[in-house]
Structure 1
Amino acid sequence: MRVVFWGTPDFAVRSLKELLNSKHKVVAVVTQPDKPKGRGKKLTPPPVKVVAEEAGIPVFQPEKVKNNEQLYTALKELNPDIFVVVAYGKILPPKIINLPRYKTVNVHASLLPEYRGAAPIHRAIMDGKSKTGVCIMEITEELDAGDIYDCREIPISETDDIVSLHDKLAEEGAKLLIDVLNRIEQGKAEKTPQKHEEATYAKPIKKEEGKIDWNRPAVDIFNQVRALKVWPKAFTIFRDQQIKILDAQVVDTDSIGKAGEIVEVKKGKGFVVQTGKGKLLIKQVQFPNSKPITADEAVRGYHITVGETLQ
């Protein structure tokens, strides 16, 4: 099939590469405009654009999609069989969705109808879920509400964080995408309507969600740390400055101090903080204007002691 691929971040790259290695032909890629990044604010292309240009695929980077007749005409001239959307970043209007012969499909990183919306991977980890998955669905006007072609379930282990789970879902989603496209082409694809009454929403992550409340249970803070490891990173106030907690581990459910108090220093491992329920071993931290270091290095370098508090 002739495919136009819509995607922007790293999550979409795996699906694009899988498509490029399949029997289907990617005739164009639509992605977000280049954006300034880093201290120098240098214009940086989206990861999907980099892969597309390396493969010699034409790239469109419209500022807007809705009411963009120039884009619509250019896409129509490509005579596409199907549009594939993977984390593109904007909602497509019906005129675009319905343009191709087989319309438009989406790779979504949750077991729909659970976690519709922008941050399904983060929310699944933060909510302490033991499993998630990826679904290929048909795009409709309502957000992530289209009929489902197929889903794959993926367990969430205690060692998973946003990085590892992101990669697992991207890989599984890419494989499932090709399988579904093959079935659509062969006329063997079946769709199942979502149970809309069971829908939940994964709203975008906000920076303030990184603030740790030590009155919460240790397991909840652990989930917060691993879900927000890339951005905005879980943070707390220590010695009147904000530090980031990058890795942690629930150690037990006992209470021997007040919430936020450092109750033990473990040589070679880090320091233990009392929470509202249970204790958390802090394993990796980042101080302002510094690189990430192990909590053991922090204990030795900053002379962290029992009785100090995190707020």
Structure 2
Amino acid sequence: MNSVIFLGTPQFGATVLEGLVKAGYDVKAVVTQPDKKVGRKQKIVYSPVKDLALKHGLPLYQPPRLSRSEELDEVLMNICPDFIVTAAFGQFLPSRFLKTAKIAAVNVHGSLLPKYRGGAPIQYALRNGDKETGVTIMEMVKEMDAGDMYAQATLPISEEDTAGTVFEKLAPLGSQLLLETLPKIADGSCQKQPQDPDQVVFSPTISKAEERILTSMTAEEAKNLVRALNPDPGAYLLVKGQRLKVWRAEVASDNSSLPAGCLLTNSGRFAISFADNTVLNLLEVQPTGKKAMKIKDFLNGQGKKFVPGERIVDEDKD
């Protein structure tokens, strides 16, 4: 079976790596991001890819910056595997390293390229209200996500999907497509297709400022932002100077003549007016310093302190 160097970090990457291991590929090395410290106690957390590599006893490397690491020059450059495979790694790979692959260096990318090149393709698909997404197996080149495409598979997006659920669905789809495609690349039967430069759409990492739900959005746009940023990092409203994270929301069937940012009702539902007379029902929220809660629990506590008809969403400060 062909040899592989694998690079990835989150669960999406772990699922792809698991597929390679189970299929019998000779994984010579696994590269993932360094461990993170999370929470007030700064607990060290391994990436899902690291957990899987340790489970299978695979050689593991965690350079903070691959392009300037001793591991690259002293180990990885000398392996010369048949394939270099990446799946949500999170770092640029030096061209000199990519060229050490005897057959090909390929990436499992979570979009239907050339749409959504970059680090947040799933989030952009949800934020933009797309009805489908997919996976592309592509050749890795120096320019981000610009290589020729070997294969694609599509996935419908439901109204209930979040970034988390789409990731969960795309991971096995990407693993399966990769395992179907690698043998065809190896035997020369897989024809590469160049990306149409006129169809390129970029999806850079979501900025902190973009996490905020603005009342200049329609209710549909606000709901899609909530879906795109669930489960991480979460979208939020600024309500009377306090951040209120919104984990689930729905577009209400009724409209409102109130200015955007006003509370319609806090009786049975928590409904806020948005642009174009649209209304958003908040379904699950998280006040600052508290755990996420269903809206009925929020209404039993803080929700009643707001008066229907008043503007509760701040626009000009954070």
- Once the two structures are TM-superposed, the CA of residue 193 in structure 1 deviates from its matched residue by 0.8
Distance 1:266 1:76 in 2: 64
Distance 1:72 1:152 in 2: 35
- Partner of residue 100, structure 1: 101
Deviation string, structure 1 residues 130-155 (Cα, Å, up to 9, x no partner) = 11111000000111000100011111
Percent identity over paired residues: 36
Q: Decide whether aligned partners of structure 1 residues 70 and 30 sit closer, same or farther in structure 2, where only a CA change above 3 A counts.
A: closer
Within-5 A mapping of 1:146-295? 146-252=147-253, 254-267=255-268, 270-277=269-276, 278-295=278-295
More moved, 221-230 vs 77-86: 77-86
Question: Between Structure 1 and Structure 2, how many residues are aligned?
Answer: 309
Q: Secondary structure at the match of 2:150?
A: strand
8 A Cα contact 2:63 2:71, kept in partner: no
Distance 2:182 2:73 in 1: 23
Within-5 A mapping of 1:31-180? 31-68=32-69, 70-180=71-181
8 A Cα contact 1:266 1:272, kept in partner: no
Q: Secondary structure at the match of 1:252?
A: coil
- Partner of residue 309, structure 2: 307
TM-score (norm 1): 0.94
1:22 aligns with 2:32: no
- Once the two structures are TM-superposed, the CA of residue 43 in structure 1 deviates from its matched residue by 2.9
- Once the two structures are TM-superposed, the CA of residue 24 in structure 1 deviates from its matched residue by 1.6
Equivalent residue letter for 1:293: M
- Once the two structures are TM-superposed, the CA of residue 305 in structure 1 deviates from its matched residue by 4.3
Unaligned runs of 5+ in 1: none
More moved, 136-145 vs 250-259: 250-259
Distance 1:224 1:242 in 2: 16
8 A Cα contact 1:222 1:280, kept in partner: yes
Q: Secondary structure at the match of 2:184?
A: helix
Q: Secondary structure at the match of 2:169?
A: helix
- Once the two structures are TM-superposed, the CA of residue 69 in structure 1 deviates from its matched residue by 6.0
RMSD: 1.6
Q: Secondary structure at the match of 2:142?
A: coil
Distance 1:56 1:16 in 2: 13
Distance 2:189 2:26 in 1: 20
Unaligned runs of 5+ in 2: none
8 A Cα contact 1:7 1:87, kept in partner: yes
8 A Cα contact 1:14 1:174, kept in partner: yes
More moved, 240-249 vs 60-69: 60-69
Q: Decide whether aligned partners of structure 1 residues 152 and 300 sit closer, same or farther in structure 2, where only a CA change above 3 A counts.
A: same
TM-score (norm 2): 0.92
Deviation string, structure 1 residues 145-169 (Cα, Å, up to 9, x no partner) = 0010001111111111111111111
